[in-house]
Chains A and B, each alone.
Chain A
Amino acid sequence: MSLRDWPIKQKLTAMLLLISGLVLLLTSAAFVTYQVVAFRQTTLKNLATLGRVIAANSTASLAFANQADAREILSALKAEPHVVAAALYDKDGRLFSRYPADLPRDSLSAAPARDGYRFEQGHVIGVEAVAEVGSTRLGTLYLRSDMKAVSRTLWLSAGIAAGVMAISLLAAYLLAAVLQGWISQPILTLAETATAISTRQDYSVRAPKLGEDELGTLTDAFNQMLDRIGDQNRALKASEEELRRYAGELEQRVAERTHELEERNEALRRNAAELAASNTELDAFAYSVSHDLRAPLRSIDGFSQVLLEDYAARLDEAGRDSLQRVRAATQRMGTLIDDLLKLARVTRAEMRTEAVDLSGMAQDIAAELQRTTPARQVEFAIAPGLGARGDPRLLRVALDNLLRNSWKYTAKQAQPRIEFASIQVNGTRAFMVRDNGAGFDMKYADKLFGVFQRLHSASEFEGTGVGLATVRRIITRHGGRTWAEGAVGQGATFYFTL
């Protein structure tokens, strides 16, 4: 495990131990050094004192060259066990006496070294001049002391230092173990709280505050952050909930709408099928009407005419009149059937959309009307250049019906006028056919376009009431609209859009 990954407790403990260990080490080193230095100086001073005493005592033996005396004096050194060797040299530098007596000569230098006390080759060396007070030099004293005392002192101090260090470190460790808690405990608590939150997703947990220091501030900040996260979480959950509700509603609405659409589609399919069926039926019906309904009429009319021709002499005026009425009715019925068939044809006919010149068409129809009834003088005002897209044949039927309608209802007008133009109605272009004919009561405007709906009697104006129904059917098939405006005696205007 890398140092970086140590738990904070261990880091703190180690840090404290390291610091106190270093301090102790330096202190101990200073202590031991001081001990050793002080002891060496004491040793030197003691040896010098000893040297001066012995040198003073040796003056007589050297002045008189009394070796036995000298030996005795030196042997007094037995009291100082650390003095391992001593020697006296006479004034000529020759070895005079030595201690201990059995000391081999070669362990001593042949001539005395220079005066003074010093450390030399692991020993303390002392060289003292032997002289009478205020007189000439009599010889030299040499002392050699071992360093056992020094090293003992060294070891002792080192041992003490080590002991103190060990005890101190132990105390430091124990203290650190206890005191690091001040710092690590809040951090660990925070860490535990954070872990608990992240594992349980419970944002209601709060880290306990253990003091007012920076860690306390951190704990406060952490708790505030949790508050905010909690708030945000709640808000998030609320909006999620709302979103889910919306989604659910939306789904339901989509499902409902889909269902509705399906039902409507189904209905449409049914309608289309029904329509197709009824179209087929209508087709068959119209075909049958076209062939079969007219045949009996032809017989009625034909044999009425036979009666009128062959039996005229046997019929009185009333009889002939009756037969004429039969014929008229038959022919009206024929016209009705034909008009109905036209209406049916308009409904059944296939649509073909192309550009249609309505103005040109209106001109043609007007010319045809004039040609068939040259006696009438009708003023046509047809706006030029009117066109639209649609089925040309159907539009011609529609326009023909409208113009013919106006033609018919202006029959009793002194100065008949028929106009074909286009106007804008609510932004849409509408075409209109306007006349100054009989007009109609707006009360019945809705009835105008119904099949067999007539606002005038047959004696007033002939007609079957199919023409305008045909117009509406055609315009409706083009997706357009038809309406009419008018007033009795003031003409009528018929509008259509495409």
Chain B
Amino acid sequence: MNPGKILLVEDNPDDVALTIRALKSHNITNDVIVAQDGVQALDYLFGPDGGPGAEELPAVILLDLKLPKVNGMQVLQRIRAAERTRLLPVVILTSSDEERDVIEGYSLGANSYVRKPVDFVEFTEAARQLGLYWLLMNRAPPTPRKL
């Protein structure tokens, strides 16, 4: 299994728990780093207050849209604007499939848009497929080491 990490940007602890459970239940054992809002996510990637970010970039980011402080779209914008992260696979994983969100997400360079199903069985299946696809099947772009 690809040793890459998963960055889960999610403010709802229930969703965090359920997502991790869904991933684990399908033997996706990769590290899951949880950011509870946009600021934490950006801090993780770019380092707090302009400081150094994570040594290693995640293999995929699962990004919720409705977040406190800095919302998902703004996070995505920052990711695509920075040289180091602009190729990073970002999957929007959110409750809504409002058309304007879908359009905006793809416009800002999201690689995928997945709506979280209410049915946990379906949710688990979605998580499984996401993990399989992005961690196993997908060839990630080369992640530049931190300078």
Contacts and interface: CB of A to CB of B under 8 A. Distances in A.
Partners in one complex: yes
Contact of B18 (A291, A298, A330): A298
Contacts of A306: 18, 21, 120
A287 B118 contact: no
Interface in B48-68: 65-66
Interface stretch (B29-37, B93-101, B105-113, B136-144): B93-101
Contact of B118 (A292, A298, A303): A298
Interface string A310-333: 000000000000000001001101
Contact of A292 (B95, B120, B121): B95
A206 interface: no
Contact of B15 (A295, A304, A331): A295
B88 to A, nearest CB: 24
Nearest to A299: B14
Contacts of B65: 291
A298 B96 contact: no
B95 A290 contact: yes
A299 B10 CA distance: 14
Q: Is the interface of A mostly helix, strand, loop or mixed?
A: helix
Interface in A291-307: 291-292, 294-299, 301-306
Contacts of B116: 294, 298
Contact of A305 (B14, B95, B120): B120
A259 to B, nearest CB: 43
A345 B102 CA distance: 14
Contact of B96 (A291, A301, A327, A331): A291
A363 to B, nearest CB: 26
B129 interface: no
A288 B41 CA distance: 23
A331 B98 contact: no
B119 interface: yes
Given A292-B66, A334-B118, A298 B123 contact: yes
B12 interface: yes
Contacts of B12: 295, 299
A397 to B, nearest CB: 13
A287 B120 CA distance: 22
Contacts of B96: 287, 290-291, 294
Nearest to A304: B120
Nearest to B11: A295
Interface residue tally on A, bucketed by range: 20 to 34
Contacts of B15: 295, 298-299
Interface in A5-50: none
Contacts of A301: 118-120
Nearest to B124: A305
Contact of B98 (A290, A296, A304, A327): A290
B118 A331 contact: yes
Contact of A302 (B18, B95, B98, B99): B18
Interface string A322-364: 0000010011011000000000010000000000000000000
Contacts of A334: 117-119
Interface string A200-235: 000000000000000000000000000000000000
B66 A291 contact: yes
B118 A297 contact: yes
A294 B120 contact: no
B75 to A, nearest CB: 16
A294 B119 CA distance: 10
Count chain A CB atoms within 10 A of each CB in B94, B95, B99, B118 and give the residue with the most: B118
A113 to B, nearest CB: 159
Contacts of B119: 301, 327, 331, 334
A462 to B, nearest CB: 15
Contacts of B94: 291
Contacts of B117: 298, 334
Interface string B13-31: 0110010010000000000
A298 B120 contact: yes
Contacts of A291: 65-66, 94-96
Given A291-B66, A331-B118, A334-B119, A303 B95 contact: no
Contacts of A331: 118-119
B120 A302 contact: yes
Interface in A225-252: none
Contact of B14 (A286, A302, A330, A345): A302
A286 B100 CA distance: 12
Contacts of B118: 294, 297-298, 301, 330-331, 333-334
Interface in A453-497: none
B20 to A, nearest CB: 11
Interface of A: 286-287, 290-292, 294-299, 301-306, 327, 330-331, 333-334, 345
Interface of B: 12, 14-15, 18, 21, 65-66, 94-99, 116-121, 123-124
6 contacts: A287-B96, A292-B66, A296-B14, A297-B118, A298-B95, A305-B121
Nearest first, the 7 closest Cβ-Cβ pairs linking A and B are A334-B118, A299-B14, A290-B96, A302-B120, A305-B120, A302-B18, A294-B95
Given A291-B94, A296-B14, 17 more contacts: A290-B97, A291-B65, A291-B95, A291-B96, A294-B96, A295-B15, A297-B118, A298-B95, A298-B120, A298-B123, A299-B18, A304-B120, A305-B121, A306-B21, A306-B120, A327-B119, A331-B119
